[in-house]
Structure 1
């Protein structure tokens, strides 16, 4: 869903197509916002997805993706808040919460090379280049997260993640995701990269600069990405963002027609409650 800069209008000619039989059941997914402090303030890691991809092609996004059934593996060595804690904040079962946290760690490593794990509960991996082969195995689904962590004798660091938001794709979309957004400070000693087939470009940017790029038409943002950037722009440091207390509510945007175009409406905006 491409949203035009300067508003939430969709491109001319866009027509929502609710699949026959009703809305598609959304697939669980995890997105991770990596933050660090830069010379101009806090920065976030962004990737521009390859054009032509089935979902969000050409969009500028945070790392993330769908949950793999193996992400729910109970054998994952885990440190930090348990599945029950995450389940309470994300409004789901502990089993789903476990899979979401594991998916967040796995997808972040696959798409950016950043690994939120360490040899023990008090340390984090430094240089992740030694795990290049395992990263490729995760991408190819030849290796599960549990197998990788066990083979490398690593512990998943759930304590490095923070719950940030909960977004669900509008009902009119043929591909729908029930996405939980996480926030994580960039681990010291690691480097985020764009070594993924899903991204054509990867870079760090202040939230404000990313919003300016969108407003001036240099990038395309999905509503959840834009809103998250707006929220992060209010913080003056990565530590401030990580320490923020968040009350999560499930956000399901609605699509409404106004004149010749369809528009995206968010909860609380005029006309949202009346929209079907």
Structure 2
């Protein structure tokens, strides 16, 4: 695990002074890094979330969101590794694994307009814009992914996704997610857009450039996003990224106080086991 830089701190107000008691239960979620090859190297699709949103407002993120109960529908036409394969990678049961993959495909379509599905097991739609009405209905929860794919005669292409990582929001936060991160190549002919009410802008960037934007203060990154960008920076191409073997361990950061600054610490950091339960505690206070 790459060590987080000391400059990576939490935005003011993101974490309450005292954690909920009991802690909020994490909601299962899927996050997808869309990548493409360019003459300048691998690029990833990023969105800046609208300021004022309840979670990660103003931060630069990958498309993604919470699992909908209908994502577990077993009627979805499916091609690729079966749910049991995904369950083994993400250390969960088959039903949740199915829901996570479906959520990854649905959220990617809702938030970026990219559709990881095709007329059959060997093809992908070349242009997802004809499905704009269905996209709006999915966003409004008027339509389920299973219903959309069935009506459109499409097959979910699970083989276009790769498992990448698993991050759990710290217990100190009031809104928590158990987010599984996926990697996907932008299908040929399709385009990613920022046509979502959750993002104020969207762009393709080389991971190194996105990290430079964060370092210069032009964007904000949460630890999972920073870490993933740093990992993608090491990949020479989409194929390199898609074929890397990943051993996925559930990571739950903790929040530690450094003077008046709040930092995320990861397992292995000497501060991890001594992170204050109440963030208004100062170093040396009785816990």
State the Cα distance separating 1:10 from its structure 2 match: 2.9
Q: Tell me, what secondary structure is at the counterpart of 1:270?
A: coil
In structure 1, the residue matched to 2:243 is 243
Output the aligned Cα RMSD.
Answer: 1.5
State the Cα distance separating 1:258 from its structure 2 match: 1.9
Q: Following the alignment from structure 1 to structure 2, what is the Cα–Cα distance between the partners of residues 9 and 148?
A: 41
> When the two structures are superposed, what TM-score results if normalisation uses the length of structure 2?
0.92
State the Cα distance separating 1:12 from its structure 2 match: 5.6
Q: Which 4+ runs in 1 deviate beyond 6 A?
A: none
Q: Following the alignment from structure 1 to structure 2, what is the Cα–Cα distance between the partners of residues 27 and 11?
A: 22
Q: Following the alignment from structure 1 to structure 2, what is the Cα–Cα distance between the partners of residues 12 and 79?
A: 44
State the Cα distance separating 1:17 from its structure 2 match: 3.2
Encode CA deviations 1:187-223: one digit per residue, 9 max, x unaligned: 0000000010110100000000000000000000010
In structure 1, the residue matched to 2:9 is 9
8 Å Cα contact 1:15/1:262 also seen in 2: no
Q: Following the alignment from structure 2 to structure 1, what is the Cα–Cα distance between the partners of residues 137 and 5?
A: 38
8 Å Cα contact 1:253/1:264 also seen in 2: yes
1:18 aligned onto 2:19? yes
Q: Following the alignment from structure 1 to structure 2, what is the Cα–Cα distance between the partners of residues 27 and 270?
A: 28
Q: Following the alignment from structure 2 to structure 1, what is the Cα–Cα distance between the partners of residues 105 and 201?
A: 21
Q: Following the alignment from structure 2 to structure 1, what is the Cα–Cα distance between the partners of residues 171 and 263?
A: 14
- Distance of aligned partners of 1:252 and 1:202 in 2 relative to their CA distance in 1, 3 Å threshold: same
Q: Following the alignment from structure 2 to structure 1, what is the Cα–Cα distance between the partners of residues 83 and 141?
A: 23
Q: Following the alignment from structure 1 to structure 2, what is the Cα–Cα distance between the partners of residues 40 and 206?
A: 8
Q: What is the 5 A alignment of 1:159-174?
A: 159-174=159-174
- Distance of aligned partners of 1:205 and 1:119 in 2 relative to their CA distance in 1, 3 Å threshold: same
| Unpaired stretches in structure 1, ≥5 consecutive residues | none
8 Å Cα contact 1:46/1:204 also seen in 2: yes
In structure 2, the residue matched to 1:99 is 99
> When the two structures are superposed, what TM-score results if normalisation uses the length of structure 1?
0.95
Q: Which moved more, 1:249-258 or 1:9-18?
A: 9-18
Q: Following the alignment from structure 1 to structure 2, what is the Cα–Cα distance between the partners of residues 209 and 16?
A: 34
8 Å Cα contact 1:256/1:262 also seen in 2: yes
8 Å Cα contact 1:11/1:261 also seen in 2: no
1:132 aligned onto 2:132? yes
Q: Tell me, what secondary structure is at the counterpart of 1:226?
A: helix
In structure 2, the residue matched to 1:72 is 72
In structure 1, the residue matched to 2:281 is none
Q: What is the 5 A alignment of 1:113-128?
A: 113-128=113-128
State the Cα distance separating 1:145 from its structure 2 match: 0.1
Question: Alignment length, in residue pairs?
Answer: 272
In structure 1, the residue matched to 2:183 is 183
- Distance of aligned partners of 1:246 and 1:199 in 2 relative to their CA distance in 1, 3 Å threshold: same
